[in-house]
Amino acid sequence: MSDPVVAQKSPFIVELEPGKYLWCACGRSKNQPFCDGSHDGTDFAPVEFEIVEKSKITLCGCKRTKSPPECCMAHSEI
């Protein structure tokens, strides 16, 4: 499997309403940190996650998290 593109070397801090979301795992999306289908033709697939109540969360921007889609501070090793 190839390495994902680093979208940014820091997390995306977003406030989300309840619902289902697709986190971009490949790093190619123009709609970071969310999937826009740019992974087509790659080894990557988006990660679906659900928010049950409005909340602020930290999503991985470097795409190397050990706990997708949440930031695990892996960007500090890039």
For 61-74, what is each residue's pLDDT tens digit?
A: 999 999 999 999 99
Answer whether residue 49 is part of any domain: yes
- Positions in the chain whose pLDDT score sits under 70: 1
Residues 4 and 2: their CA atoms lie apart, in Å, by 7
pLDDT of residue 78: 86
Answer whether residue 2 is part of any domain: no
pLDDT of residue 41: 93
Answer whether residue 67 is part of any domain: yes
Answer whether residue 51 is part of any domain: yes
Answer whether residue 73 is part of any domain: yes
Domain range holding 23?
12-77
Looking at the 3D structure of the chain, how many domains does it have? 1
Measured in degrees and rounded to the nearest 5, phi and psi for residue 75 equal -65, -20
Answer whether residue 4 is part of any domain: no
- pTM of the full structure: 0.94
